[in-house]
Amino acid sequence: MHDEDASQEAAEIARARAGDTGAFATLVRRYQDRVFGFVLRMTGAREEAMELTQDIFLKAWTALPDWRPDARLSTWLLQIARNATLDVLRRRERVGFSALDALPDVADPAPGPDAHYAGRQRQALLLEALGQIAPAHREILLLREIEDLSYADIGTALGLTEGTVKSRLARARLALLARYRPLAGGVDD
Amino acid sequence: MTEACPDHEALSALADGVLLASAEEGVRTHVARCPACAARLVELQALSEALRGLPRESLGFDLGARIESRLPARAQPTPQRRWRLGWRSLVPLAGAAAALVLGLRLGVSLVSAGPVQTAVLPAVQAMSVFDAVPPGNLCPRPHACLLVSVSR
């Protein structure tokens, strides 16, 4: 985020903390897709992810006075999203899920129809493998690879030290590869 | 390869570019000479690329507009209010302090009254005769039954 954008966002946060619902709505618009994407990948259910995203922002509104500038707003929101998602997963008592119903319209990665199909299939298999690994591995991979968070920010979001982030991320990659390799073995380019 | 291959954690950190500079050089040198580790690193980088290539999700509607009317009003504590609360909280505190001072003064005056204590002591000793030894029983201690010496 550029300095100008950061200062604009800081002003919006200050207004939202003072009770300005319009300023908070602006923040919601900025982060709604990131939060929704994370929740969707974690739960694998689109309708549920949409409802949960609304709940997460309502929680964020209530908790906003407690937010401190030492954590980025995006990291803080993802932390709330992560906790809310884990609550849902615990209620479901379901570790794995089929991510296939979450497969969105895929951007064309290659010019030809065969390549398009293969790319789409690989993404579907990757999402399926992602849905099969433990939530603790899934969340850390999403925060690193999709949300592009630093190790320090991941540590803040998950309540871990940077050393633990490093080791858990390595184990999560191994777990995902172990699931993905057999699935992707038969996909041709 | 004769030297030990780096563990998976080191390769994962290398793929993320977060390996310490002192360790990075050694791992990179090893990977350049070890086909197995080079293949592991390539696989990690490909996985990362595949994850980053996943399409971004969109909620598909303006959640900000939808949520704005549902936001509950937020109570805002102000510094002035906190001061008022602070002064109010001093009133019971002052009352408690006054009660404590009065209690201490009363206690000191009782303790310092020496003659009262010596006057009460014989009566207490006399009562102990009836309390400790029921009628008809033997005295536990000879001096406990000597009422004459107590009354004297």
Residues of B with Cβ-Cβ distance to A127 under 8 angstroms:
54
Q: Say if residue A33 is in the same domain as residue A50.
A: yes
User: Hey, how many other C-beta atoms are within 10 angstroms of the C-beta on A130?
Assistant: 27
pLDDT at A40 over 70: yes
User: According to the 3-state scheme, what is the secondary structure of A110-136?
Assistant: CCCHHHHHHHHHHHHHHHHHHHHCCHH
pLDDT of residue B102: 83
Q: Say if residue A85 is in the same domain as residue A109.
A: no
Give me the percent of chain B exceeding a pLDDT of 90. 40
Tell me which residues of chain A, numbers 107 to 136, contact chain B at a CB-CB cutoff of 8 Å. 107, 109, 122-123, 126-127, 130
Q: Is the ipTM of this complex over 0.85?
A: no
Residue A76: partners with Cβ closer than 8 Å, 6 or more residues away = A60, A67
Residues of A with Cβ-Cβ distance to B54 under 8 angstroms:
123, 126-127, 146
The CATH number of residue A182's host domain is 1.10.10.10
Q: Say if residue A6 is in the same domain as residue A82.
A: yes
pLDDT at A20 over 80: yes
Tell me which residues of chain A, numbers 135 to 154, contact chain B at a CB-CB cutoff of 8 Å. 141, 144-146, 148, 151
In contact, A97 and A85? CB cutoff 8 Å: no
Q: Say if residue A88 is in the same domain as residue A124.
A: no
> Nearest chain B Cα to A37, which residue?
B57
pLDDT at A74 over 90: yes
Q: Fill in the DSSP letter of residue A143.
A: I
Q: Say if residue A125 is in the same domain as residue A106.
A: yes
The CATH number of residue A62's host domain is 1.10.1740.10
A74-94 mean pLDDT: 91
pTM, two decimals, is: 0.70
- Could you read off the pLDDT of A123-167 as tens digits, one per residue? 999 999 999 999 999 999 999 999 999 999 999 999 999 999 999
Q: Say if residue A64 is in the same domain as residue A128.
A: no
Last residue of a domain, which of A73, A94, A115? A94
Best mutation target among A39, A143, A145 (most B Cβ atoms within 10 Å) is A145
pLDDT at B88 over 80: no
Domain count, chain A: 2
Q: Say if residue A68 is in the same domain as residue A136.
A: no
pLDDT at A42 over 70: yes
Last residue of a domain, which of A75, A94, A113? A94
Q: Say if residue A89 is in the same domain as residue A107.
A: no
Give the domain range for residue A55. 1-94
Distances (CA, A) of B120 to A130, A159, B128: 87, 68, 13
**B122/B124 Cα distance (integer angstroms):** 5
| Nearest C-alpha neighbor of A142 from the set B52, B17, B14, B59 | B52
